[in-house]
Amino acid sequence: MSVLDLARAEIRTMQPYSSARMEASGGQVLLNANESAWAPLGDSGLGCNRYPEPQPAALVDALADLYAVRREQLLVGRGSDEAIDLLVRAFCRAGEDAILIQPPTFGMYAVCAQIQNAGVIEVPLAVNFTLDVDAVLTALTPAVKLVFICTPNNPTGQCIPRADVERLAQALAGRALLVVDEAYVEFADTGSVAELIDQYENVAVLRTLSKAWALAGARIGSLLANAEVIGLLRRIMPPYPLPLPCVSAALSALSVPGQVSAREHLAIVREQRALMHDALCRLPGVREVLPSQANFLAVRFDDAGIIYRRLLAAGIVVRDVRRYPNLDDALRITIGTPAENARVLAVLQEATTCA
């Protein structure tokens, strides 16, 4: 059974849109796309009067090298969100199929499924927010076409052991596509599981430049998967997903100097994460600081609502995650610069002392 047998039959057989850039490239006089012949003011040589490549070759090559996959195993788009949406639309029939998630987790999995009118089966994370593989497999139904796992998990920060990921991949073969969201993997001590896509055709991995690579505003994300899955998603992807300025920003970030800078900042985040964890644990009013392999800490407070308001009054915005299952007393605090982190601790010290 091919992994494509899990996808919607009408997507597999549809005739995709053929854009002007896909039909012809390399010409010197471009008169096939009804573009302006003049670059806009302030263009600075980008050529924004022309449509961009659907999958920019230089960026695809750079990302394939970064993630150690073949270029045909990579799809680049507008953040991980676009890849999640494309997967749900390609594999889930409205009103019939479903995804499986483990809350608390990233909210866009369920949002994309709901937009598609696909079901959402929830298998809560176990004690200490660990993945219960047996519970996931027990809850699996024939309707489930996608199983999303997030490692390190957002919003708790824990990683899923590689052995559990591989066990799921084996058990889901021929039944569902396992989508491993690694948006925060650069901050973790454990590495990516991207090489599993060569061993299991039903494994896909989400990566992004939004976090460790400091390009949240450029919206560049990737899906790593079996080449057939990549080809399927390209059928339904908008023809020009990546604006030229965003591609340029990504290529700069992935250059040799850009990679040096990113790794320097990663080292700072890791160091600050450990310092913040220890300092927060010593504050009165802090119940628990969850262990994290991401660039944030989920912190339980005696009164998270008061702490949130105190921080906001001091001009500090953190994430209120009390609506998530088993986190009704928690806030998620991103690791900032050393000065920002020190400011957070100072405000929390004052707030918890006065509480």
| Distance separating the N- and C-terminal Cα atoms of the chain | 61
Q: Are residues 236 and 265 in the same domain?
A: no
| pLDDT of amino acid 27 | 74
239 contacts: CB under 8 Å, gap ≥ 6: 17, 19, 21, 22, 51, 54
| pLDDT of amino acid 302 | 96
| Under-70 pLDDT residues of the chain | 24-26, 352-355
> Which of 207, 222, 254 finishes a domain?
254
Residue 41 inside a domain? The answer is no
> Which of 205, 237, 254 finishes a domain?
254
| pLDDT of amino acid 30 | 87
| pLDDT of amino acid 354 | 62
Which domain does 319 fall in, by range? 258-354
The answer to whether residues 129 and 290 touch, using CB atoms and an 8 Å cutoff, is: yes
Residue 335 inside a domain? The answer is yes
| pLDDT of amino acid 25 | 63
Q: Are residues 192 and 300 in the same domain?
A: no
pLDDT by residue (tens digit) across 198-233? Answer: 999 999 999 999 999 999 999 999 999 999 999 999
| pLDDT of amino acid 350 | 86
Q: Are residues 328 and 196 in the same domain?
A: no
Pairing of strands 296-301, 330-334: antiparallel
| pLDDT of amino acid 36 | 94
| pLDDT of amino acid 167 | 97
pLDDT by residue (tens digit) across 231-281? Answer: 999 999 999 999 999 999 999 999 999 999 999 999 999 999 999 999 999
